[in-house]
Chains A and B, each alone.
Chain A
């Protein structure tokens, strides 16, 4: 049953989308975490709120927000369409973006905690040894941040893998294109409940596995 074409396609899509979403989280989240932890700029509270809002927002509402921003008639989406011919809603890329939107706060919070806990005197020591800001970041800050980066990325990945509401709202439910595992579970529960339950168990096992593997690193990073 798990080996059915539908399930395999959903699994493959889930992996691709969740890993892409994790990459987006790292690319956006590291600078954001840095800003939050190290730079005192006006509007920091607002940026922090925007980054964290997906944690408390119902994911479906997040999906609506994404449609309004990135949809074909959305604020940015209309421009993307007219300037580059890029349409994100109801595509695999859209699914990945929906997952990244919901997963980003998990990465940012974990990495920000790691940055705050880091001993900044080590960075000062590196500067007195002749390292400029970029070298300090690359050779001291990042290596010391590794546990937090690993924990944050794994949490974000697990959250992205299980994402449902924002994905179905922004990307729809097209098998092979945007139907990820959680969406397949939802659909299966109506037609083939046993398959839905089995897939749910698989997802639960993966999530639990990540959290158990991370337990120490996660709490150390925080």
Chain B
């Protein structure tokens, strides 16, 4: 009982080639920068885009396999989608929008209407049942869209940026609601997002997609431990550098040089945790192997610890205490000394 997919789709600039597996009851978050192919994956799973090669099986049933000449149209797939742009039917009331899928799948009018109202009730918007989508707020419309997808009880539920239209507070509330509803349904779910917090809050596993390829698959901790791309590193909140190593010196591709503890050679990825980046007003004494002068590009004080973006090269993020921010007078435009111990830099082949 699972989704097994090998999706190959070429569309314009995008060359998508991914393997994707989702187990029963699992919620996988699909993360990636814009243009990575996230929406194309959603469309391929839903049947709105046909595969060029590969295959898609859900619960053992082949839904798309160009080599075998199999293509099951979207309306016959056990898949429902909550779209990024909601795509509520503007001419139908909220309850009719939710009932639409049940009606299309042959449920009698009265029963579909009753079930739709129950779903609106669960999302706390039963009072808005008769309203048209244009009379709903962003959060209310988002709830209707989620209810419409969930009402079908699909084997595979696709959530494409389901909270993108909401402010932070509404987002947190709806996320909690959604988690409660998902816990009641046994299906497989794919959550597309570019918000790591959202992914970590809801998902069992993260899949990172970049330029049509899966660059990571695992838990957030896995990715933080060994991020393999700038995107994944930013995701995990760590610094990541690409460079070319010779012995212990690594020429960073964006400019600058870092010295590492262990000799290595060729193309490497370097990871530096922001907490390992020290900041000084004057050139530091002692033995930090990496020390350079940089201008503060931005500061984000956040509780006891704050993040400081430094322009470089190499550009780096430091995490320091609020005290240090005050003591050093850190503000954008200020020049500081940056120090990173060689032993704090993790290097692995790219």
**Chain A residues near B (Cβ < 8 Å):** 119, 121-122, 124-132, 135, 139-140, 143-144, 146
By the criterion CB–CB under 8 Å, are B85 and A121 in contact?
yes
Chain B positions 146 through 168: 1 when the CB is less than 8 Å from some CB of chain A, otherwise 0: 00100010000000000000000
Task: Give B158's nearest chain A residue, CB to CB.
Answer: A128
Q: Could you give 13 example pairs across A and B, Cβ below 8 Å?
A: A119-B87, A121-B87, A122-B87, A124-B87, A125-B83, A126-B104, A127-B73, A127-B75, A128-B81, A129-B152, A130-B152, A132-B73, A132-B75
A121-B83, A121-B87 are known contacts. Are A126 and B48 too (CB-CB below 8 A)? no
Question: In the complex, A127→B89 CA distance in Å?
Answer: 12
CB pair A125 B87 closer than 8 Å: yes
Are A143 and B100 neighbours in the complex by a CB distance under 8 Å? no
Q: What is the CA–CA distance of A125 and B47 in the complex, to the nearest angstrom?
A: 11
Within the complex, what minimum Cβ distance (angstroms) separates A133 from chain B? 8
Residue B41, interface by CB 8 Å: no
Q: Which of A128, A129, A131, A143 contacts B48 (CB 8 A)?
A: A128
Q: Which residues of B contact A (CB under 8 A)?
A: 46-48, 73-77, 79-81, 83, 85, 87, 89-91, 100-101, 104-105, 148, 152
Most A CB within 10 A of own CB, among B47, B91, B105: B91
Q: Could you tell me if A122 and B48 are in contact, using CB atoms closer than 8 angstroms? A: no
Given A129-B101, A135-B104, A143 and B80 touching (CB < 8 A)? no
Question: Which residue of chain B has its CB nearest to the CB of A135?
Answer: B104
- The residue in chain B whose Cβ has the minimal distance to the Cβ of A131 is B104
B-side contacts of A135, CB under 8 Å:
104
Q: Known interface pairs A121-B85, A121-B87, A124-B48. Does A129 touch B100 (Cβ–Cβ under 8 Å)?
A: yes
Evaluate whether A126 and B47 lie within 8 angstroms (CB atoms) in the complex, with A131-B75, A132-B75, A140-B89 already known.
no
Beta-carbon contact of A126 and B89 below 8 Å: yes
Q: A128-B81, A129-B100, A139-B104 are in contact. List 19 more A-B contacts (CB 8 A).
A: A121-B83, A121-B85, A121-B87, A122-B87, A122-B89, A127-B73, A127-B74, A127-B75, A128-B74, A128-B77, A128-B80, A129-B104, A129-B152, A130-B105, A131-B101, A132-B75, A132-B104, A135-B104, A143-B91
The residues of A that contact B74 with a CB separation of less than 8 Å are 124, 127-128
Task: Give the nearest-CB partner of B73 in chain A.
Answer: A127
Min CB–CB distance A167 → chain B (angstroms)? 38
The distance in angstroms between the C-alpha atoms of A143 and B74, with both chains bound, is: 21
Q: Please name all residues of chain B whose beta carbon is closer than 8 Å to the beta carbon of A119 when the two chains form the complex.
A: 87
